[in-house]
Amino acid sequence: MVATSATSSFFPLPSSPLDPTAKTNKVTTSTNFSGLSPTPNSGRMKVKPNAQAPPKINGKRVGLPGSVKPDNETSSQHPAAPRTFINQLPDWSMLLAAITTVFLAAEKQWMMLDWKPRRSEVIMDPFWVGGIVQDGLVFLQNFSIRPYEIGADRSASIETVMNHLQETALNHVKTAGLLGDGFGSTPEMVKKNLIWVVTRMQVVVGKYPTWGDVVEVDTWVSQSGKNGMRRDWLVRDGNTGEILTRASSVWVMMNKLTRRLSKIPEEVRGEIEPYFVNSDPVLAEDSRKLTKLDDKTADYVRSGLTPRWSDLDVNQHVNNVKYIGWILESAPVGMMESQKLKSMTLEYRRECGRDSVLQSLTAVSGCDVGSLGTAGEVECQHLLRLQDGAEVVRGRTEWSSKTSTTTWDITP
């Protein structure tokens, strides 16, 4: 209380604005300290209630906002604290409470938008863009076409389409709980050092999506002969449901150590057969023989193609989508500028590794090489081979004019 009284003496209470007609600004101060007396028992000073603040400021009488009750009065009444420089500062607690409330509300909204799965053991829909449908036999996944997935003509490239097909195939295996420690291999396949390799791929494209479009990819598997598996895909427009692409492929097993083809063991067959769909291929098989090209029959040759480290998959061989890019390396630029790839049939005959050096050969049929820019329909034969002449991939592609406004017929 002594400190409070002293503070009030040095920091007087503010009064109303100064009266311009006042004759003097004299401050009259009268402080009575007669109420301070030592406490008999403790030897300390005790504050008496008759200690007063200055009664006048600038000639005007100012009363104390509160008074201190003596010790012998009722202790249940709490005295009001005198107004001083310290306790007249703003109350920041309300401002801090408001700021805290805003931050808590923002954090709550952010957590509601945080859609990523929290548990690693979630099996159904692990990528939050698809899942297994139709009695657990068909896998569906959505893709948004990104800027880096389109070409110079502002539409998705054939490599983009093929990457979507491959991703849905792997996600199908993973979501079904069949993914072992390999690249699409089941647990029993991992035990026996077996991997899947594609032997044939057939794709028909009716329309390519553009940047920002959303496509829906459906995939399922069926039996192909005694030792093969067929995988089919349908690519639809995410908004209209229109079928954009049909694709069908045949896969066989290869020993990862010996690099030789293998029969399907019974243990592996027991894992995959419950997921087989009894259905016809989405595309009628193109039974036309693929032509073997050489330096004399090819119109265009591109040599010196080598895999990069990023072209290898976890099985240490070149990803099958990369072969498509190499095949098109020898396609004529004039055709690429004016034509759009509408169908493709590939036969994979040999794998290649990171030390391989390849050649890409292309022969054009259906039109003269010099008139590719104005041709309506173009067919090409392709061959990808190692430098020593060993065949890697044979292929055939069909092209149609980009200026055509009609969607290509892709009915099976």
Q: How many residues does the chain have?
A: 412
Per domain, the residue ranges of the chain are: 125-285, 286-403
Active site residues: 315, 317, 352
Q: State which of 8-22, 73-87, 126-140, 167-181 shows the largest mean pLDDT.
A: 167-181
Q: Are 220 and 137 in contact (CB under 8 A)?
A: yes
Q: How confident is the model at residue 277 (pLDDT cuts 50, 70, 90)?
A: very high
Q: Which two tokens stand for residue 64?
A: 């104390």
Q: Do domains 125-285 and 286-403 have the same CATH topology?
A: yes
Query: CATH classification of 286-403 is 3.10.129.10, yes or no?
Result: yes
Contact 254, 261 (CB under 8 A): yes
Give per-residue pLDDT as tens, 26-60: 444 444 444 444 444 444 444 444 445 555 545 55
- Token pair 């959505």 is found at 142
Rounded to an integer, the average pLDDT of 134-144 is 89
Per-residue confidence at 281, pLDDT binned at 50, 70, 90?
very high
pLDDT digits (tens, 9 = 90+) for 315-333: 777 888 999 999 999 998 8
Closest CA to 366 of 393, 400, 390: 400
What is the pLDDT confidence band of residue 365, given thresholds at 50, 70 and 90? confident
Q: What is the pLDDT of residues 142-192, one digit of tens each?
A: 999 999 999 888 899 999 999 999 999 989 988 888 887 666 789 999 999
Structure tokens at 174: 């993973």
The architecture of the domain spanning 125-285 is: Roll (3.10)
- The whole-model pTM stands at 0.66
